[in-house]
């Protein structure tokens, strides 16, 4: 399912979770249920925006997004999260499209990738390729006066309200459960070096100002996020 043009699927409202950080979720229909996805928007200096894992929104929510700033960077965090990338580029031709180097070829089949190591011109927002994934998965670190937000993609799942047959499948895949986890799909498709990923997670756990972790599939991790990263790292040692 790829949208070349703007197509609004069901979604919730844009929620402000910190100064200059908005997020919105919406379901993707599956044969046996739905799968939640999340877009995160971060304001840079100069009223420019970074759009992470784009979702095409309705007019009211897009007006609110544009009131925050001008979309300047579109991050496609891996080769899977391409559904609305072309539609966003069509709507905002000036967008610089960013994808990790290991996903550049796959993303490039949908939309031209401008760079894999972006300079946002704002030291408070940094793009990273996730260690141990052969640069197929990316992350964003955002510093604000109230703390640090770590934006992750498929490398961590935290779906808490999965139910029915679809919920059983999501739990089996490792996206859903009673705690954050590294999905089995991510381990098989994205993780090439578990030790390197474990070291990456432990490095992030040392960020003293870490306030929350946002994931593309599931609830924000805002209770003991540093400890959550340590538990995730420990799961890779098994």
CA dihedral 140, 233, 200, 180 (to 10 degrees): -10
Number of domains composing the chain: 1
pLDDT at 32 over 60: no
Specify the pTM: 0.94
Q: Is residue 8 part of a domain?
A: no
Q: Is residue 79 part of a domain?
A: yes
Q: Is residue 136 part of a domain?
A: yes
User: What are the pLDDT digits (tens) for 85-96?
Assistant: 999 999 999 999
Q: Is residue 212 part of a domain?
A: yes
- Looking up residue 133, the CATH number of its domain turns out to be 3.60.15.10
Q: Is residue 6 part of a domain?
A: no
What residues make up the domain containing 209?
A: 15-235
Q: What is the full DSSP assignment across 45-59?
A: TTTEEEEES-----H
Q: What is the mean pLDDT of the segment spanning 11-31?
A: 92
Angstrom distance (rounded) from CA 26 to CA 198: 30
Q: What is the mean pLDDT of the segment spanning 119-137?
A: 97
Q: Is residue 4 part of a domain?
A: no
Radius of gyration in angstroms for the set of CA atoms belonging to the chain, rounded to a whole number: 17
Q: What is the mean pLDDT of the segment spanning 206-231?
A: 97
Q: Is residue 7 part of a domain?
A: no
Kind of pairing, strands 138-144 and 147-151?
A: antiparallel
Q: Is residue 186 part of a domain?
A: yes
Kind of pairing, strands 21-30 and 15-18?
A: antiparallel
């Amino acid at each position: 399912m790829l949208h070349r043009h703007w197509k609004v699927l069901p979604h919730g409202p844009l929620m402000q979770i910190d100064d200059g950080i908005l997020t919105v979720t919406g379901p993707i229909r599956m044969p046996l249920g739905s799968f939640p996805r999340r877009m995160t928007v971060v304001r840079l200096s100069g009223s420019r925006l970074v759009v992470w894992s784009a979702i095409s929104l309705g007019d009211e929510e897009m007006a609110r997004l544009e009131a925050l700033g001008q979309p300047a960077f579109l991050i496609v965090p891996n080769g899977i999260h391409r559904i609305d990338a072309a539609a966003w580029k069509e709507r905002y031709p000036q967008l610089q499209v960013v994808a990790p180097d290991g996903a550049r070829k796959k993303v490039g089949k949908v939309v031209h990738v401008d760079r894999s190591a972006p300079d946002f011109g704002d030291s408070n927002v940094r793009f990273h390729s996730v260690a141990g994934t052969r640069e197929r998965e990316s992350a964003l670190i955002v510093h604000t006066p109230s703390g640090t937000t770590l934006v992750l993609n498929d490398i961590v799942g935290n779906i808490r309200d999965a139910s029915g047959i679809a919920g059983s499948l999501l739990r089996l895949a490792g996206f859903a459960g009673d705690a954050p986890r590294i999905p089995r799909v991510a381990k098989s498709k994205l993780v090439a070096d578990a030790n390197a990923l474990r070291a990456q997670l432990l490095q992030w756990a040392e960020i003293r100002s870490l306030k929350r972790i946002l994931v593309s599939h599931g609830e924000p991790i805002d209770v003991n996020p540093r400890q959550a990263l340590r538990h995730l790292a420990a799961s890779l040692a098994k």
